[in-house]
Structures are given as structure tokens and as C-alpha cells.
Amino acid sequence: MATSPSPSQSPTTFITHLHIKKPSSLYANQWSISTLECQKVQKALETHGFFLVKYHDDQEQEQDECSLLHETFSSLNQLFNLPRETKLKNSSLPPYYTYFRTTVYETLAVVNSFSSSGQLLSFTQLMWPHGNQKFYETMRRMSGKLIELSKIILCMLCKSYGVIGRTELDHSAADHEATMDPLFRMMKYSAPLSNNNNDGDGDGDGDNDEDEEPILRLTPHTDQNFVTVLCQNEVDGLMCKSRDGEWMKVNPSPGSFIVLAGDALRVWSNGRIHAPLHKVMMKGKKDRLSFGMFVGPKGDKVVEVFDEFVDEEEGRPAIFKPFIFLDYLNFSLENVCRAETMLDSFECINSA
């Protein structure tokens, strides 16, 4: 594995870009992944709260990887092109999981899409009553890859903190599966400029995009979960705010994944990990498609500071009070206007 910094907006800050090869075993105690690489995950999440990663499976040919990515985006196009009434059927889930639409943004979600419990199959049947095997197979493979990567990343973090096997964040822990509720979400953001908008050179490309001001498509917020692994089509737009307050453009190379820490990880680490505010700003004539695995605790689970990060005698008390994750999700839904300071507004922070 190698790390190469890729320049962000500012010359002084770099976005960490890791290359992770699928380990022969997903269990960290049998790993070839070095501690040094694990420390890079920790450092990136503590400073910026996000990083980019290329994830390869040695068994998988590069060509297969590209075609999976290509098929995923063509499946997403197919999905978002369905009539609105059909997409509205994705509403039997709790409100934060269901089909949601504004004039410029749409999202659909499937819980545990990679598992054998048939959630992805039911979702596919709901959208295409006559079946769509291609969609099902593609999304099953892609969401399987995302869940695998999210497990590896959480494990790398646990390894770096020296807490492997002692926390449910590590998937080798007995109750990991019973604790986690991974959600596969698919998003579409419409282009700020319509396709009829001619840029004057007759090619209809909109190649004077450079002069345009980017327009907000998704308002600044933090994710409530532990970790999010995202992937986008060729249209950039994601921006993340680092711990030192700088908005950074996140422009991944094709096929790279974006890893973001959420509020639950900030709480678990007693504030060591930064859960970055992020937003989507777009320009140009192309719609942006993205999808991701949002790995959070099950609704009834308690989110709390992990013991390892607390030492009263050393002057490191727990900054956060424990809370039920569902209470926080509901609070977030009722207080969308406080998205920029959600965790702080939730009043789970202990007074000094």
C-alpha cells in the first residue's frame, strides 16, 4: 500500500489518499495491513475527518472493477428515471431512510443491502415489479464492496488506537453485526444549468463552466453515523470542512471512495475524531450521481464514549453523555435548520 497526497484547494493542506488492497482475511489479527497504514487512517480522521481511498481486490481484474462502477452508475440512472410514483414506494422505512426529494436532489435507500435477508431483492421488486436482475446483481456486488471497505477502515482505526477486539466497531467483535445498521443510499443532484443552455460554441458542452459560480445542492451537515463511504460519478461537488475550519474541495479520481467520519465516531472517540461538516456545490450541465454506505448503530443502541478515551485522573473526562441513537436521528429530523451544529444542539455535551 502506498499513500500519495493529492493537493486540495490550499497549498498547505493535503487530502490523504490511501490505496488499500483487500487483505486475505478480514480479521485484523491475521492482517497484512501495516500499523503505519492504520495510523494514516487515524491521523486523517482526526485532522480532516475524511480521506480518499482506492480499494482493490487482487482477485478482481481492473477491467471488472471499472465495469462494476460503470454498471452501478447506469443502474442508478435507470432507478432515478423511474416515475416519481414508483420511487415513492420506497417509503415503508423510517423517515430518514425513505425516498426524499427536493427540486434539485433525490435520494433512495436500502437497509442491509449486501445481506442475504432479501432487502435489496424486495427493493428491486418494489421498483421493478417484473424484476431487474441486472440492477440487483450490480448493487449487491457494489454494496458488498462498500461494506467490506467500511469494516476494514473501522478495523484499521481500532488497530491504530490499539483497541482491536475490545469494541463493537471492530467487526470481529461478537456483537458487531447485532450493533450495526448499514444503510446503502443512492443520490442524484440535478445540474445547475439545463442542457439547452448553449455556451455559444455550438457543441452544447458547456465548456465555459469555469466562469460559473458553484450553486448549493446539499446544505452543510454532519453525518450522524459512525462512518460513510461514498462514491460519485465524474461530476465533482463535495466539500468538507476540516478541523481547522477550512472548506476543502473533495475531487476523487474515478473509482476512488470518499470516507467520512460521522457524529457517532466523534462521540465514541471522545472528540478525537473530527466529524466534518460537508455540502455539495455544483456547476455545469451534468447531473451528479453518488451512492454510499452509511454505517451507523442500530436505532436502539446507545452511543457513548469508549472507555479507552476517558481518564478522569489524567484530566480526560468524557465530553459526551450517552444517548440512544434513534433519539438523535429523530432530533436531527426535527431540527434540520440546526444541521451545522446538530450534535452540539442535541445537548449531549457534558458541561465542564
Ligand X SMILES: O=C(O)CCC(=O)C(=O)O
List residues binding ligand X (CB under 6 A).
185, 187, 218, 223, 230, 232, 238, 278, 280, 290
Identity of the residue, 109 or 164, whose beta carbon is nearer to ligand X in the bound complex: 109
User: Which option in Fe ion, ligand X, none does residue 290 bind, with CB closer than 5 to 8 A by kind?
Assistant: ligand X
Q: In what order do the strands lie in the sheet with 227-232?
A: 17-21, 50-56, 257-261, 227-232, 288-297, 180-189, 105-111, 100-101
CB of 189 to ligand X, least distance (A): 7
Q: Quick one: angle between helices 133-161 and 62-80, nearest 10?
A: 120
Planar angle of CA 318, 324, 329, nearest 5 degrees:
110
Q: How big is the site for Fe ion, counted in residues (CB under 5 A)?
A: 1
Q: Is 170 a residue that touches Fe ion (CB under 5 A)?
A: no
Q: Is 223 a residue that touches Fe ion (CB under 5 A)?
A: yes
Identity of the residue, 14 or 105, whose beta carbon is nearer to ligand X in the bound complex: 105
Identity of the residue, 48 or 159, whose beta carbon is nearer to Fe ion in the bound complex: 48
Identity of the residue, 37 or 223, whose beta carbon is nearer to Fe ion in the bound complex: 223
Q: Is 263 a residue that touches Fe ion (CB under 5 A)?
A: no
CB of 252 to ligand X, least distance (A): 10
Residue 197: CB atoms within 10 A of its CB come to: 12
Identity of the residue, 160 or 224, whose beta carbon is nearer to ligand X in the bound complex: 224
Distances (CA, A) of 149 to 144, 155, 180, 219, 295: 9, 10, 15, 27, 11
Distance from C-alpha of 256 to C-alpha of 278, rounded to nearest angstrom: 18
Q: Is 168 a residue that touches Fe ion (CB under 5 A)?
A: no
Non-local (6+) Cβ contacts of 119 within 8 A are 110, 111, 112, 113
User: Which option in Fe ion, ligand X, none does residue 217 bind, with CB closer than 5 to 8 A by kind?
Assistant: none
Distance from C-alpha of 142 to C-alpha of 135, rounded to nearest angstrom: 11
CB of 279 to Fe ion, least distance (A): 9
DSSP 3: B
| Stretch of 151-159, 209-217, 218-226, 232-240 lying at the interface with Fe ion (CB under 5 A) | 218-226
CB of 238 to Fe ion, least distance (A): 9
Identity of the residue, 321 or 338, whose beta carbon is nearer to ligand X in the bound complex: 338
DSSP 256: -
Q: Quick one: angle between helices 133-161 and 35-47, nearest 10?
A: 100
CB-based closest residue to Fe ion: 223
User: Which option in Fe ion, ligand X, none does residue 75 bind, with CB closer than 5 to 8 A by kind?
Assistant: none
CB of 171 to ligand X, least distance (A): 22
Residue 139 is placed in which grid cell? 448493487
CB of 87 to Fe ion, least distance (A): 20
Identity of the residue, 223 or 263, whose beta carbon is nearer to Fe ion in the bound complex: 223
CB-based closest residue to ligand X: 290
User: Which option in ligand X, Fe ion, none does residue 277 bind, with CB closer than 5 to 8 A by kind?
Assistant: none
User: Which option in ligand X, Fe ion, none does residue 79 bind, with CB closer than 5 to 8 A by kind?
Assistant: none
DSSP 60: S
Q: Quick one: angle between helices 119-127 and 133-161, nearest 10?
A: 140
Positions 239 through 258 that interact with Fe ion (CB under 5 A): none
Residue bearing cell 478541523: 243
Number of helices and strands (H, E) in the chain? 9, 16
| Stretch of 18-26, 180-188, 216-224, 340-348 lying at the interface with Fe ion (CB under 5 A) | 216-224
CB of 263 to ligand X, least distance (A): 12
User: Which option in Fe ion, ligand X, none does residue 238 bind, with CB closer than 5 to 8 A by kind?
Assistant: ligand X
Yes or no: say if 227 and 259 are a contact pair by the CB < 8 Å rule: yes
Non-local (6+) Cβ contacts of 87 within 8 A are 79, 80, 99, 101, 106, 108, 127
The residues of the shown chain that bind Fe ion, judged by CB under 5 A, are 223
